[in-house]
C-alpha cells in the first residue's frame, strides 16, 4: 500500500516572493559549456544563428532562464575581457589553465555573451577578475558594457557592432572563490580587496545599477562569511555561496553519474538537502551584521558533481544526468523557496555539457536532461509567492540516511494560480499525499523505471514529463506519487 502523507499549506503566512533569479544558470568557459554547447561560430555546419546553436537556444528559451553567470568560476580570475572583444580573427588565443589546458580562441567574448543573454531575455551576471587583474580593468570592462555617450569605450563597443549599451547587466561578481582558485586569499584580505574594487567598479553614468556580489564561502566555511560580512557588508548587495553535491567520500571518489547503488542515491539526496543547513547557518551570521537583510545570499554554484564521464576529455567536467539529478534539482529549488528572505539568486552548475547540465550536446545532436525537465516544470515558481508547506508521514531511511519521504513546495504564481511541487524521494515506495485543498489539479510528473533513468543521444526521449493530475477524495485533493518521482501541478480552486 502507498505510504500515507499529509500536506498542510499555510495560506495565511505567505513568504517573500521567489525571485525568478533563483532558477538561474552558470555557464563557465569550461570544457564544452560554451564552445560546442552554445557557441559553434557562424561558419559551423551545426544549425546556428550568428554562431549560437539554435537547438540549445530554443531549449533554453523554454526555461525562461532568468540570469546567466559567466565567464567563471575559476576561469574568471584568469580572464582578460580585452582578449574577447573586436574582430574574431584578431583575438589572441589563450590557454584555459584551469580546465583541460586547452587553447581558447576567444571567439566567444563579451559581445557574444551579452547578446546571447539579451536574446534569451536573461539578466547578465559577469564575474570580474580580482585574482590577477587590477581594479582598473574591471572598471573598463563595465564601462564598455554600460556606457552611452562618446567615451572611448562606448565608441569601441560601437565599432564592435553594438551601438547601445546592454541594459541587462544586473549582477557583477567580484572574483570567484577568492579563498581558492581565485587567489588563495585569507578572508580579511579578500574583504579589503572587495571594498577596493567595489569602490572603483560602477555602472557608467545613467546606466542601471547592478548588484555587487562578494566572493563568499564554500560549504560550511562560516568564518569566511563572518569576516566578509563584518568588513565589507556596506558595499555589497550580495555574497555568494558555493555548494556541490558529491555522493562519494572524497574528491577522488565522487561516484558515478549512472549505475549507482541505492546507498549512493540516498547519499546524494541527503547531501543535496544539506544546503538547507548551510543557508540557515550562513544567514544567521549575516543577520548579525545585516539584521535588515539588505545583503542577499546568492547560491551561485550548486549541483551534483560526479567522477568524470569515462572517455570524456580530462578537466571538462562532462557527466550524464539521471532521475537522481532531477530529484536533486527539485529538492534544492524547494529549499531555496523556503529561504526567499535571503536567497535571491542561485545558479546551477552548469547550463550546458558541464556538471549538472540542462542539455548535453554531441556534434549536431542535443538532448534534454531530467534536470532540464524539472527546471521546465518549475517555471511557474519564478516570481511566485511561497507558502509554508508541511509534510507529515513516513521517512525514507536507507543505511545512515534518514530523510522525509516526500518533499513539497507551494506558491501562488503571477498567473494567480496555486502551484504545488511534490517530490517522492523513496525509490521503491509510492505515496498518497492528502491535502486540505479543494478543487482540481493538473500538471506534469517526471519519473522513470530506474534510479538512473536518463536520456542518451541514441534514445534522447527516454525520460520526459507526462501529464498528471490529482483527484478529489472526500472533498480533499489527493495525489498518488509513484516512487522516485517529481510532480508539479496547478490547482484550480474554484
Residues annotated as part of the active site: 177, 301
Identified binder of ligand AHR from the candidate list 66, 71, 72, 165, rule CB under 6 A: 72
Nearer of residues 36 and 177 to ligand AHR, judged by Cβ: 177
Binding part of the chain for ligand AHR, among 37-45, 67-75, 333-341, 473-481 by CB under 6 A, reads 67-75
Residue where the block lists cell 547531501: 271
Nearer of residues 176 and 353 to ligand AHR, judged by Cβ: 176
| Integer Cα distance of 369 and 326 in angstroms | 8
8 A C-beta contact, residue 275 and residue 299: yes
Nearer of residues 28 and 36 to ligand AHR, judged by Cβ: 28
Residue where the block lists cell 546553436: 53
| Integer Cα distance of 410 and 336 in angstroms | 12
3-class DSSP state of 277: helix
Q: Which one-letter DSSP state was computed for residue 252?
A: S
Identified binder of ligand AHR from the candidate list 349, 352, 367, 463, rule CB under 6 A: 349
Nearer of residues 356 and 444 to ligand AHR, judged by Cβ: 356
- The gap from C-alpha 387 to its chain's centroid, in whole angstroms, comes to 22
Q: Minimum distance from CB of 213 to ligand AHR (Å)?
A: 13
- Give, in degrees to the nearest 5, the angle at Cα 381 between 378 and 386: 135
Binding part of the chain for ligand AHR, among 37-45, 252-260, 290-298, 347-355 by CB under 6 A, reads 347-355
Q: Minimum distance from CB of 242 to ligand AHR (Å)?
A: 6
User: Judged by CB under 6 A, does residue 73 bind ligand AHR?
Assistant: yes
8 A C-beta contact, residue 386 and residue 411: yes
User: Judged by CB under 6 A, does residue 216 bind ligand AHR?
Assistant: no
Binding part of the chain for ligand AHR, among 143-151, 200-208, 348-356, 438-446 by CB under 6 A, reads 348-356
Binding part of the chain for ligand AHR, among 12-20, 47-55, 349-357, 421-429 by CB under 6 A, reads 349-357
Q: Which residues pair with 33 in a beta bridge?
A: none
Alpha helices in 312-382, H assignment, sequence order: 323-337, 370-377
| Integer Cα distance of 403 and 425 in angstroms | 8
Q: Minimum distance from CB of 355 to ligand AHR (Å)?
A: 6
User: Judged by CB under 6 A, does residue 74 bind ligand AHR?
Assistant: yes
Which helix H or strand E contains 120, and what residues bound it? helix 110-120
Of 413, 408, 417, 484, nearest to 449 by C-alpha is 484
Listed in order, strand segments (DSSP E) in 36-111 are 48-49, 52-53, 67-70, 94-96, 102-104
User: Judged by CB under 6 A, does residue 176 bind ligand AHR?
Assistant: yes
**Number of residues lying near ligand AHR (CB under 6 A):** 11
Site for ligand AHR in 282-321 (CB under 6 A): 301
Per-residue x/- mask for ligand AHR, residues 350 to 369, rule CB under 6 A? x----x--------------
User: Judged by CB under 6 A, does residue 177 bind ligand AHR?
Assistant: yes
Nearer of residues 176 and 225 to ligand AHR, judged by Cβ: 176
Residue where the block lists cell 516544470: 377
Q: Minimum distance from CB of 272 to ligand AHR (Å)?
A: 16
- Cβ of 291: how many Cβ atoms within 10 Å? 8
Of 354, 265, 282, nearest to 316 by C-alpha is 354
Per-residue x/- mask for ligand AHR, residues 25 to 64, rule CB under 6 A? ---x------------------------------------
Nearer of residues 332 and 350 to ligand AHR, judged by Cβ: 350
Q: Minimum distance from CB of 444 to ligand AHR (Å)?
A: 29
Q: Minimum distance from CB of 123 to ligand AHR (Å)?
A: 19
Listed in order, strand segments (DSSP E) in 36-87 are 48-49, 52-53, 67-70
User: Judged by CB under 6 A, does residue 278 bind ligand AHR?
Assistant: no
Per-residue x/- mask for ligand AHR, residues 232 to 251, rule CB under 6 A? ----------x---------
Residue where the block lists cell 483527484: 471
8 A C-beta contact, residue 224 and residue 215: no
Q: Nearest to ligand AHR by Cβ — which residue? A: 73
Nearer of residues 73 and 448 to ligand AHR, judged by Cβ: 73
8 A C-beta contact, residue 389 and residue 353: no
Q: Is the dihedral of CA 466, 464, 420, 117 positive or negative?
A: negative
Nearer of residues 177 and 290 to ligand AHR, judged by Cβ: 177
Residues that bind ligand AHR in the complex, under the rule CB under 6 A: 28, 72-74, 176-177, 242, 301, 349-350, 355
Amino acid at each position: 500500500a502507498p505510504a500515507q502523507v499529509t500536506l498542510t499549506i499555510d495560506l495565511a503566512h505567505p513568504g517573500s516572493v521567489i525571485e525568478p533569479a533563483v532558477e538561474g544558470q552558470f555557464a563557465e568557459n569550461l570544457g564544452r559549456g560554451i564552445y560546442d554547447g552554445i557557441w559553434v561560430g557562424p561558419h559551423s555546419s551545426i544549425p546556428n544563428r550568428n554562431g549560437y546553436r539554435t537547438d540549445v537556444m530554443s531549449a533554453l528559451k523554454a526555461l525562461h532562464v532568468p540570469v546567466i553567470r559567466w565567464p567563471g568560476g575559476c576561469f574568471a580570475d584568469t580572464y582578460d575581457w580585452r582578449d574577447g572583444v573586436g574582430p574574431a580573427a584578431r583575438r589572441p588565443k589563450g590557454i584555459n589553465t584551469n580546465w583541460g589546458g586547452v587553447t581558447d580562441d576567444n571567439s566567444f567574448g563579451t559581445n557574444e555573451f551579452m547578446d546571447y543573454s539579451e536574446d534569451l531575455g536573461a539578466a547578465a551576471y559577469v564575474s570580474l577578475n580580482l585574482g590577477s587583474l587590477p581594479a582598473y580593468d574591471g572598471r573598463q570592462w563595465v564601462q564598455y558594457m554600460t556606457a552611452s555617450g562618446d567615451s572611448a569605450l562606448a565608441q569601441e563597443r560601437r565599432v564592435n557592432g553594438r551601438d547601445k549599451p546592454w541594459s541587462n547587466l544586473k549582477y557583477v561578481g567580484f572574483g570567484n572563490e577568492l579563498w581558492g582558485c581565485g587567489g588563495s586569499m585569507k578572508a580579511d584580505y579578500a574583504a579589503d580587496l572587495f571594498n577596493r574594487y567595489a569602490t572603483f567598479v560602477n555602472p557608467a553614468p545613467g546606466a542601471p545599477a547592478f548588484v555587487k556580489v562578494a566572493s563568499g564561502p564554500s560549504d560550511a566555511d562560516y568564518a569566511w562569511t563572518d569576516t566578509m560580512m563584518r568588513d565589507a557588508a556596506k558595499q555589497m548587495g550580495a555574497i555568494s555561496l558555493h555548494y556541490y553535491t558529491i555522493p562519494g567520500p572524497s574528491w577522488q571518489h565522487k561516484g558515478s553519474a549512472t549505475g549507482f547503488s541505492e546507498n549512493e542515491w540516498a547519499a546524494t539526496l541527503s547531501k543535496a538537502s544539506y544546503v538547507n543547513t548551510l543557508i540557515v547557518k550562513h544567514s544567521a551570521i549575516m543577520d548579525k551584521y545585516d539584521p535588515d537583510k539588505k545583503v542577499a545570499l546568492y547560491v551561485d554554484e550548486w549541483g551534483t558533481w560526479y567522477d568524470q564521464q569515462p572517455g570524456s576529455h580530462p578537466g571538462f567536467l562532462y557527466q550524464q544526468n539521471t532521475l537522481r539529478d532531477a530529484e536533486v534539482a527539485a529538492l534544492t529549488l524547494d529549499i531555496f523557496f523556503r529561504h526567499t528572505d535571503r536567497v535571491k539568486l542561485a545558479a546551477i552548475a552548469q547550463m550546458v555539457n558541464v556538471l549538472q547540465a540542462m542539455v548535453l550536446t554531441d556534434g549536431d545532436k542535443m538532448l534534454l536532461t531530467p534536470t532540464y525537465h524539472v527546471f521546465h516544470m518549475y517555471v511557474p515558481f519564478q516570481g511566485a509567492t511561497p507558502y509554508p508547506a508541511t509534510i507529515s508521514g513516513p521517512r525514507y531511511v536507507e543505511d545512515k540516511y534518514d530523510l522525509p519521504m516526500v518533499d513539497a513546495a507551494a506558491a501562488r504564481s503571477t498567473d494567480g494560480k496555486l502551484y504545488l511541487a511534490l517530490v517522492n524521494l523513496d525509490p521503491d515506495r509510492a505515496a498518497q499525499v492528502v491535502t486540505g485543498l479543494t478543487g482540481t489539479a493538473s500538471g506534469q510528473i517526471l519519473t522513470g523505471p530506474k534510479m538512473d533513468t536518463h536520456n542518451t543521444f541514441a534514445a534522447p526521449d527516454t525520460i520526459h514529463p507526462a501529464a498528471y493530475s490529482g483527484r478529489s477524495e472526500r472533498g480533499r485533493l489527493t495525489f498518488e506519487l509513484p516512487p522516485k518521482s517529481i510532480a508539479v501541478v496547478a490547482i484550480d480552486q474554484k
